Homo-oligomer: A and B are copies of this chain.
Amino acid sequence: MSIRALLNIEQPIIQAPMAGACTPELVAAVSNGGGLGSLGAAPMKPDALREQIQKIRTLTKRPFNINLFAPASEQFDAGAILGGSAKALLEKYHQELGLGELPQPSGIFGPAEEQLEVLLDEKVPVISFHFGVEAHHVKAIHSAGLKVICSATTIEEAVHLESIGCDAVIAQGSEAGGHRGTFIGDFQQALIGTMALVPQIVDAVSVPVIAAGGIMDARGIVACKALGASGVQMGTAFLGCHESGIPSAWRQQLKASSPSRTIVTKVISGKPARGLANRYIQDMEALEDGPMPYPMQYALSGAIRRKAAQQGNPDFLAMWSGQGVGMLREMSAADLLKAIVLETEVLLKALSG
Which residues of A are at the interface with B, using a C-beta cutoff of 8 A?
Answer: 154-156, 173-175, 185, 188-197, 199-200, 203, 213-217, 219-220, 222-228, 258-261, 263, 322-324, 326-327, 347-349, 351-352
Judge whether A193 and B222 touch: CB under 8 Å. no
Known: A348-B351, A351-B348. A323 touches B263 (CB 8 A): no
Judge whether A193 and B194 touch: CB under 8 Å. yes
Chain B residues whose CB sits within 8 angstroms of the CB of A347 once the complex forms:
226
Known: A154-B260, A348-B352. A193 touches B214 (CB 8 A): yes
Chain B residues whose CB sits within 8 angstroms of the CB of A223 once the complex forms:
195, 222-224, 226-227
A224 CA to B224 CA, complexed, in Å: 10
Q: Separation in Å of the A204 CB from the closest CB of chain B? A: 8
Known: A213-B193, A213-B195, A326-B200. A155 touches B258 (CB 8 A): yes
21 A-B residue contacts at CB 8 Å?
A155-B258, A156-B258, A175-B195, A189-B261, A193-B194, A193-B213, A194-B194, A195-B223, A196-B324, A197-B323, A199-B324, A199-B327, A200-B258, A200-B324, A200-B326, A203-B327, A219-B227, A220-B227, A223-B224, A226-B347, A348-B351
Chain B residues whose CB sits within 8 angstroms of the CB of A216 once the complex forms:
196, 199
Judge whether A323 and B258 touch: CB under 8 Å. no
Judge whether B349 and A259 touch: CB under 8 Å. no
Q: Separation in Å of the A16 CB from the closest CB of chain B? A: 15
Q: Separation in Å of the A158 CB from the closest CB of chain B? A: 11
Judge whether B203 and A323 touch: CB under 8 Å. no
Known: A219-B227, A223-B224, A260-B156. A196 touches B323 (CB 8 A): yes
A226 CA to B224 CA, complexed, in Å: 9
Chain B residues whose CB sits within 8 angstroms of the CB of A195 once the complex forms:
173, 175, 193-195, 213-215, 220, 223-224, 324
A71 CA to B176 CA, complexed, in Å: 33
Chain B CB within 10 Å — which of A196, A225, A261, A263 has the most? A196
Chain B CB within 10 Å — which of A219, A224, A347 has the most? A219
A190 CA to B262 CA, complexed, in Å: 10
Judge whether B351 and A226 touch: CB under 8 Å. yes
Chain B residues whose CB sits within 8 angstroms of the CB of A213 once the complex forms:
193, 195-196
Q: Separation in Å of the A235 CB from the closest CB of chain B? A: 12
Judge whether B196 and A175 touch: CB under 8 Å. yes
Judge whether B220 and A193 touch: CB under 8 Å. no
Chain B residues whose CB sits within 8 angstroms of the CB of A349 once the complex forms:
352
A323 CA to B191 CA, complexed, in Å: 10
Judge whether A193 and B219 touch: CB under 8 Å. no
Q: Separation in Å of the A20 CB from the closest CB of chain B? A: 22
A203 CA to B117 CA, complexed, in Å: 46
Chain B residues whose CB sits within 8 angstroms of the CB of A197 once the complex forms:
259, 323
